[in-house]
Structure 1
Amino acid sequence: MTRPFLEDSIMLKKVIFFLIIIALIIPNNYAAIKIYFGKITEIKGTPLVNGKRAKKRKKVYVGDKIVTDSKSSLSIIMKNKTVFVISPDSEVILKKTDRRNGNTEIELKKGSVRSVVAKLKPRDRYSIISAGAVAGVKGTEFIAFSNSEALCVFTDEGVVNILTDNGSVDTRKGEMTQASKGIMPLEPVNFEKDEKLKEMFQTLLSITDFKLPDELEKSKRLPDIIARWNINYANYLADSKKYNEALKSLDYAYLFAKSPDFKAEALYKKSIIKSKFFNDLSSAEKHLLDILVSYKDTIYYEYAVFQIGFIAYEQKDYEKCKEYFNKYKKEFPEGRFNSTVDVILNLIPN
């Protein structure tokens, strides 16, 4: 009767010994099974990898977080010879690389990345994820810029597919598009035929080039340069009666803009298009109210106060019309719409 007990006791000791050995080995194994992503080939300034100063020729791994300040950048080469440069003021996470299925993912939290992607096999996929959009590459050279709200992609060679939950577009050599969560990507625009877009592209090229970092000051203005272009492009689209595309371009203007003036202008022009061409007065009023709440120090605050009163008049909500027109006359005694306000107030039935 004692033999089975002794055998069980010996077996238990073996199990405990085995578990102790495993516990001692596993921490070292974790370091050994890190997934290699690539190697740092160039450094400028003091970029950080996982909070520590990056070093040339050091390996980087899946899961690593790379951060650059306003005076630093770095480039990484992958095993398949794909090269990407992380520009100043950027934050990138190396999400995935899998040689079995050829799937590589980089998350661009903010800033810009320039990629020169090696020729991919048919099953391979190289993607940059940012702001709810995915830039899927099919063997190409391109630059992606993100402010965490929206993604802007310039394709220099090959094809890039831009995908959001609202649809996708393909951009080819010399084309630009923009994307964000909840918005259909902008129809690709030829940046080689648009001087402002060409200037944006050259700015992005220069800040991802280790030889020419002189465009850094301009790069800080890039979000507003993109926003201004979108507003102007929306005007062109509206004149061409492409009102939905114009609204989309204004959405991207708002998302990219740092300047309160540009944000307010985008909202105001959206309100005009929605009221004038879609008769969507409630949506138009919502954009105008956003201006009243968030952008009081811009010129579009005056426009918004007047426009809300005018929309109320069109809806025959005369009390609301009088409320906003009287507000306008009080806040803007020399306002540009005062004569129109007086005419409409006199037309309101007693």
Structure 2
Amino acid sequence: MTQAPLWLSSPSRYVALKPQAARIALALLALLLAATLLALISPGPPPISHDPAQRAQDQADVMLYESIVQDMRGGQDYYSAAAQALRNGDYPMRPFVTFRLPTLAAVQALLPRSVTTGLLYALTVCVLLAWYRRLRPVFARTPPRLIAMALLCGGLIAFVQGELASFHEVWAGLLIALSLAVRREDKWIEAVAIGLSAMLIRETAALYVGVMAVLALLEGNRKEALGWAATLAILAIVVALHAHAVGQVVRPTDPASPGWTGLLGFGFFVKTMQLSTALALAPLWLAAPLVGLALFGWSAWNSTLALRALAVFAVYAALLGLFGRTDTFYWGLMIAPTLLIGLAFVPDGVRDLTAAARTPRRKITITRVTR
């Protein structure tokens, strides 16, 4: 007999597993949790001093983007300002992807800093409201709903820091979270438009859009798949124009990037998730398994949205593990907002999985035959 859910309104994905499959799933969970401990030996970015006098060193990339916006306010075009700032900071300038797309800087150059910060906070509130609306019917009672929202807030801790408003991943990560929340099978145009906005700010958001396109196609939603594919075509045109513009300001003597084949592995992904969320407040030996449990929790929610979210996490985990470097840990911000929500699904997932793994006892019936 199936037990009533603990927190959820409906049973988890694991409630109907056969014993053998459930045992395999438990073994995979144990393997996942063990793998997260690789973060303990994974390299990470240099520690931040939190000394205002050291801000130029602690937040070099943020100051780079701020200087570009400031020069644009003074009348320079984006590509000249970006080239000058990159040279002054001794940053690599080749290939063209070392230049961010001009979208965010162009908008910020037109607005006062206070307005930009206000828009960042407004977008964060929109993400909170969209996910509350999406999660409200998922949980049976108010306390687990509040816990899920608290976990969402834990993923947004880096996104309410006004000093990071010039950071492209901050805006793109929020837009990905918002797009994922508003997407429904019969209402996907808004999600597609928001995904396009994320890509025009940070082109690595194309991984999210690509996942959504593939899953829409696999689910038989051809119109939606075409919608996501159309935004990728738009991005391709924008990136081609961007590459041409960068070529006009880069010199043959400008330094090239050392490459993005960091091969730092799954442990580096886990460490980036700790640094990008409220888990940064916990020791790594505790935070690392919590990242694994969050991924497990998303797999336990019996929803197509959960599968999409899990696929997005997996793709960005591969990106960080294969191509990330210690100085590109901030790529984790692209998926940080929603990751910790998965912990809210863990109680039902673990309970249902362990219950399914138990071998049902065979009933022995004794029949007395009288002659």
Q: TM-score, normalised by structure 1?
A: 0.27
Select the structure with the greater relative contact order (CA < 8 A; seq sep ≥ 6): 2
Larger Rg: 1
